């Protein structure tokens, strides 16, 4: 049996942002129709709390796909040459279960996460939103800039990062890449004050963004705090917002940005208006008024990885990209 191994560079090349946004739209439509199955992911932290490994199996009915992501998350890797998310997505063929591909999980996670925020932004942000604030300067910051530019007419960008030198590096590299005005700010408040799009993509464990700082009409993608113990938004930011999530069950299990305000009894579960499946299938009303503050809270779903990896595999098979290796044996 042949298994196709698709590394980081090939996976990135085969998954352009705008294409991935469409793949994610199709995936959430399938999810909303009940054509996807995935359990709550398992996350195992090393006893020294330096990093964790996550196991995320899933099945998708259309297109038919079966697989699992196994990835490590080492939040302290920003000061090293290593990405903070590394691993593999294993894709199995759905008729006989043979392993058809192993795809770089860092690449897929990087693109699909921002693509899902791009989809949420397309569905929730004001049409003319173009003043973007990004909190964080890592992999997701760069990917979210590309995603926001794919769905809205981004005119200018302000970036805040804990490490100010890394924010300046981001300004240099992203200005060269995209040719739009990007500046670094000393505080989160300065970054978000006039923004109509905000992306929070940090490893913060306590709130960095206060609801009081948000302008009427802004759309926020809150992406960083995707497992318990992490938080980027204060309670007021959630209470002031019309809240959507990627998948309600997963958000209520893992997103402390939502769970803490519920525990504090400032909001209840019904404060979450709906999920992306509801929005793409028109089962929930997104932005009701121009002045609404909309919030998309993302935790990341196994089925997003599966769909993106499957798409990359199909492209790679058509172009004969990646490397074929023998895996498994034929029955004699």
Smallest distance, Å, CB 223 to ligand NDP?
A: 5
- What residues form DSSP beta bridges with 66? 59, 92
Q: How far is the CB of 204 from ligand NDP (least distance, A)?
A: 4
Instruction: Name the minimum Å distance from CB 293 to ligand NDP.
Output: 20
Question: What is the smallest separation between the CB atom of 198 and ligand NDP, expressed in angstroms?
Answer: 14
**DSSP label of 191:** H
Which is closer to ligand NDP, CB of 39 or CB of 328? 39
Q: Which is nearer to ligand NDP, 3 or 72 (CB)?
A: 72
CB of residue 114 to ligand NDP, shortest distance in Å = 9
* Cβ-contact 162, 202 below 8 angstroms: yes
Least distance in angstroms from the C-beta of 289 to ligand NDP: 27
The nearer residue to ligand NDP, 147 or 299, going by C-beta atoms, is 299
325: Cβ–Cβ under 8 A, 6 or more apart, which residues? 2, 3, 5
Question: Under a CB-based contact definition with an 8 Å cutoff, are residues 196 and 218 in contact?
Answer: yes
- Considering beta carbons, is residue 177 or 288 the nearer one to ligand NDP? 177
Shortest distance in whole angstroms from residue 246 CB to ligand NDP = 8
Short-list 115, 114, 51, CA closest to 83: 51
Tokens of 1: 């049996």
**Binding residues for ligand NDP (CB under 6 A):** 73, 77-78, 84-85, 109, 113, 136-141, 161-163, 166, 201-205, 208, 223-224, 226, 298-300
Q: Return the number of the residue (91 or 223) whose C-beta is nearest ligand NDP.
A: 223
Which is closer to ligand NDP, CB of 125 or CB of 204?
204
Work out whether strand 131-135 and strand 197-200 pair parallel, antiparallel, or are unpaired.
parallel
CB 107 within 8 A of CB 15: yes
Residue (of 257, 216, 213) closest to 233 by Cα position: 257
Report in angstroms the alpha-carbon separations of 45 from 5, 68, 236: 27, 19, 30
Residue nearest to ligand NDP (CB): 138
Q: ∠51-264-76 over CA atoms, to 5°?
A: 15
Question: Which residues, other chains included, contact 169 with Cβ-Cβ below 8 Å and sequence gap of 6+?
Answer: 137
Cβ proximity to ligand NDP, 90 vs 245, nearer residue: 245
What is d(CA 151, CA 309) in angstroms, rounded to the nearest whole number? 22
């Amino acid at each position: 049996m042949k298994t196709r191994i698709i590394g980081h560079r090939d996976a990135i090349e085969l998954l352009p942002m705008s294409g991935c946004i469409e793949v994610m739209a199709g995936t959430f439509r399938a999810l909303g129709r009940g054509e996807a199955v995935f359990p709550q992911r398992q996350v195992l932290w090393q006893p020294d709390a330096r990093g964790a490994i996550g196991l995320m199996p899933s099945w998708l009915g259309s297109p038919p796909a079966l697989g699992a992501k196994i990835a490590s998350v080492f939040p302290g890797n920003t000061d090293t040459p290593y990405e903070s998310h590394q691993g593999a997505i294993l894709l199995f063929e759905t008729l006989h279960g043979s392993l058809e591909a192993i795809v770089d999980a860092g690449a897929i996670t990087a693109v699909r996460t921002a693509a899902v925020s791009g989809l949420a932004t397309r569905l929730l942000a004001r049409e003319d939103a173009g003043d973007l604030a990004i909190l964080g300067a890592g992999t997701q910051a760069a990917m979210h800039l590309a995603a926001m530019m794919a769905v809205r007419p981004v005119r200018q960008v302000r970036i805040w990062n804990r490490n100010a030198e890394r924010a300046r590096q981001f300004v240099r590299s992203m200005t060269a890449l995209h040719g739009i005005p990007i500046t670094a700010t000393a505080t989160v408040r300065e970054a978000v004050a006039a923004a109509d799009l905000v992306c929070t993509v940090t490893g913060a464990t306590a709130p960095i963004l206060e609801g009081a700082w948000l302008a009427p009409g802004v759309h926020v993608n809150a992406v960083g705090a995707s497992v318990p113990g992490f938080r980027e938004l204060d309670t007021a930011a959630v209470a002031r917002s019309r809240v959507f999530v990627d998948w309600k069950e997963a958000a209520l299990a893992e997103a402390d940005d939502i769970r803490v305000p519920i525990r504090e009894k400032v909001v209840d579960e019904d404060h979450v208006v709906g999920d992306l499946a509801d929005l793409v299938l028109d089962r929930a009303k997104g932005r009701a008024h121009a002045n609404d503050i909309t919030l998309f809270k993302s935790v990341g779903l196994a089925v997003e990885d599966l769909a993106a990896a499957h798409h990359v595999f199909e492209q790679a098979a058509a172009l004969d990209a990646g490397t074929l290796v023998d895996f498994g044996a034929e029955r004699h």
